[in-house]
Structure 1
C-alpha cells in the first residue's frame, strides 16, 4: 500500500512538471499558432541565469524573478529577430526555425555555462513528508510545484476566456489580416504571446531544476513528455495541458514502479499513439461539427 501511495504521489509531482512545460506550449500555440520546439533551451538559459545569480550570493527569489523577466525578454527578442521575418509564409518555416534555435541555444549554453552538471537549489524542502511513522513521497517543493502550475493554468484560462487582450491575441493568431482590419495591433500581440510563453517556459525550467542537477541538456527529455502532455490534453486547452501532464506523469510513474523504468519511453509513445488515433485534437478539444 505504501508503495502504491508513493508511486501515485510521485506521479502527481512528475505530472505537474510535465504540465508546466505543456502550458508553455499551449500558450505559444494559442497566441501565435506556432509549436515552439526551442521552448526547452530558452527555459534552460534562463534557469542558468538564475543559477549564476544564486552562486554569486543573491537570494533564490531574486534569481527566480530575474529568470522570469529574462524569459520574457528572450521570448520577445526571438519573435522579433528570428520568427518575425518568416511570418506570413508557410507555417512550417517558423517550426524549422525553432528547431534550429534549439541547436544554437544548446551550443551557446555549453560555451557560456559549461557542460558539467551543477546543483540547483530548491525554494522549499525536498525531503518526503512524514505522516505518523511513514514517509510519503511528497516534498515541500513538490507542493510548491503543484500550486504554481495550478495558478498558471487559472491565469491562462482567465486571460483567454475573460479578457479583451486574450481575445485579441487569439484573433491575431488565427487570422492576421482580419485582425488588422479590426484595429488589432497584430505585431505587438504576437511579440507579447512569445514573451508570455517564454515566462511560463522559464517557470517550468525552474520547477524542473529545483533540488536536482542541471546541465545544458537537462530539459531535453521534458520536451518529449511535455509535448505528449500538451497533445494529450489538446494544444488549445490550458486545463487539458494540466490534466494531460498529470495523467501522463501518473501513468509513467506506475509503469516505472511496477513494470520497469526501461519501458517508460515506450509507454509514453503508446499513450500518444492512442490519443492521436482516438481523438487527434486532444481530450479537451471541442468536438467538431459533423457534416453529412
Structure 2
C-alpha cells in the first residue's frame, strides 16, 4: 500500500504539470480554434530564458521566475501578432502547419543559442524529502502542486466571472458576430496566446529540474499534455485538468507495475478506449458554432 500511495503521489505531481500544459493548449484552441503544436517549444525557450536570468546574469531565482513569465506573455503575444494573426481566417490545416513550422524553428533556435548539452536547473524550493502520511515528498513537489492549483483556480475564475472571460466565450461561439458586438477579437486572441504561453512556461520551469534543460525537454510533456486534453474533451478546461491528473497517475502505475517503456503505449490505449466509448472525451460535448 505504501508503494501504491508513493507512486500515486508522484503521478499526481507529474499530472499537475501535464494539466498545466493541457490547459494552455485547450485555452488557445477553445478561443481561437488553433491547435498549437509549438506550445512545448515555447515553454522550453522560456525555461532557458529563466536560466539565463538566474544562472548567467545572477538574478535571484524568484525574480528570474517572474521575469520569465513576463517574457512568456510577451512571447505569446508576439507569436500571435507576427504569425497567427496573418492566418487567422485561413484553413485549419494552414494554421496547424504553421505551428509545426514554429515548433521546428524554436527547437533549432534553442540549440543554436544554448546548445544541446543538458544543463542543470535548480528547484524552485530546494529541500530534502520528508515523510507525511507514509508518503515521501519534497518541498518542490508541494510547490508544484500548489502553484498549479492556484493558476487553475485563477484561470477558471477569470474565464467564468470576468468580462475578458465572457469575451473569450463569445469569440469562441462566433468571431464575426463578437466583432460586430464591439468585442476586440484581435485583443482577445492576443491575451489568450499570452495566457497560454504563461501556463506552458510554468509547466516548463517545473519540468526543467527533473529533465534538465535541453531543446527536447518538453517533448514528452507536450505529448502527455495533448493526451490529457483529448482525454478530457479538448474544449473543456476542467476536462484538461482531470485528464492531466489521470494521465500522470495512470502512467506512473503502468511504469511501476508493468514497464516504464510501455507507459506511453498504455496511456494512448486508454485514450483509444475512452474515445471509443465517448467520442467527445470525458468532459466534451458536441459543439456547434452559432451562425
TM-score class, shorter-chain normalisation, is over 0.9
Are the aligned partners of 2:18 and 2:228 in contact in 1 as well (CA < 8 Å)? Answer: yes
Cα distance, 1:47 vs. partner?
0.5
User: CA 1:278/1:181 → structure 2, altered by over 3 Å: closer, same or farther?
Assistant: same
CA deviation string 1:112-132 (max 9, x = no partner): 111100000011135432249
**Cα distance in structure 1, aligned partners of 2:217 and 2:210:** 13
Question: How many aligned positions are there?
Answer: 287
Are the aligned partners of 2:27 and 2:192 in contact in 1 as well (CA < 8 Å)? Answer: yes
Is the aligned partner of 1:209 residue 2:208? yes
The match for 1:65 is 66
The match for 1:175 is 174
The match for 2:143 is 144
The match for 2:46 is 46
CA deviation string 1:124-146 (max 9, x = no partner): 135432249x6x34211111111
User: CA 1:78/1:18 → structure 2, altered by over 3 Å: closer, same or farther?
Assistant: same
Are the aligned partners of 1:126 and 1:142 in contact in 2 as well (CA < 8 Å)? Answer: no
Map residues 217-232 of structure 1 onto 2, 5 A cutoff: 217-232=216-231
The match for 1:84 is 85
The match for 1:31 is 31
Map residues 109-258 of structure 1 onto 2, 5 A cutoff: 109-125=110-126, 127-131=128-132, 136-210=135-209, 212-258=211-257
Instruction: Give SS of 1:283's match.
Output: coil
Cα distance, 1:63 vs. partner?
0.8
CA deviation string 1:258-289 (max 9, x = no partner): 11111111111101211221222221124679
- CA RMSD in angstroms comes to 1.7
The match for 2:98 is 97
Are the aligned partners of 2:211 and 2:217 in contact in 1 as well (CA < 8 Å)? Answer: no
**Cα distance in structure 1, aligned partners of 2:84 and 2:214:** 27
**Cα distance in structure 1, aligned partners of 2:164 and 2:236:** 17
**Cα distance in structure 1, aligned partners of 2:130 and 2:98:** 44
Once the two structures are overlaid, the 10-residue window that deviates more, 162-171 or 216-225, is: 162-171
Cα distance, 1:5 vs. partner?
1.7
Instruction: Give SS of 1:210's match.
Output: helix
**Cα distance in structure 1, aligned partners of 2:167 and 2:54:** 38
**Cα distance in structure 1, aligned partners of 2:246 and 2:137:** 17
Cα distance, 1:65 vs. partner?
0.7
CA deviation string 1:192-216 (max 9, x = no partner): 1111111111111111113541201
Instruction: Give SS of 1:119's match.
Output: coil
TM-score, with length taken from structure 2: 0.94
Are the aligned partners of 2:38 and 2:103 in contact in 1 as well (CA < 8 Å)? Answer: yes
**Cα distance in structure 2, aligned partners of 1:280 and 1:151:** 31
The match for 1:7 is 7
Instruction: Give SS of 2:131's match.
Output: strand
Instruction: Give SS of 2:137's match.
Output: coil
Moved over 4 A (4+): none
CA deviation string 1:82-111 (max 9, x = no partner): 111111111221111001100000000000
Are the aligned partners of 1:173 and 1:190 in contact in 2 as well (CA < 8 Å)? Answer: no
